[in-house]
Amino acid sequence: MLDPQGEIFQNEFAMVMVRRDEAANGIRLFIEDVATGNHIYLDPLELEALTRLDHDHFVPLVAPRTREKPMPLDDVERWQQ
């Protein structure tokens, strides 16, 4: 079941809605970009993996040139190294 309430997190650059989702085979976190409708479901293992990253890993994802369009594959491959 998707929690219909969710929480909104926003600053001057972005607004996302975060909800707990229990509709699949376990609990996941649903994150939606309110402006674009882009969304992702993250399971506990994927969330735990985020804790092992430092903020430098997010720079390519939040850079102004990548926020308006999908990230090019070569940038994704570089980010994963």
What CA–CA distance (Å, rounded) separates 81 from 52?
14
E strand residue ranges, the chain: 7-10, 15-21, 28-33, 39-42
| Residue 64 neighbours by CB distance under 10 Å | 7
Look up the pTM and report it.
0.73
pLDDT band of residue 66 (cuts 50, 70, 90) is low
What confidence score (pLDDT) does residue 68 get? 60
pLDDT band of residue 27 (cuts 50, 70, 90) is very high
Q: Using alpha carbons only, what angle is made at residue 61 by residues 58 and 63, rounded to the nearest 5 degrees?
A: 100
What CA–CA distance (Å, rounded) separates 30 from 26?
12
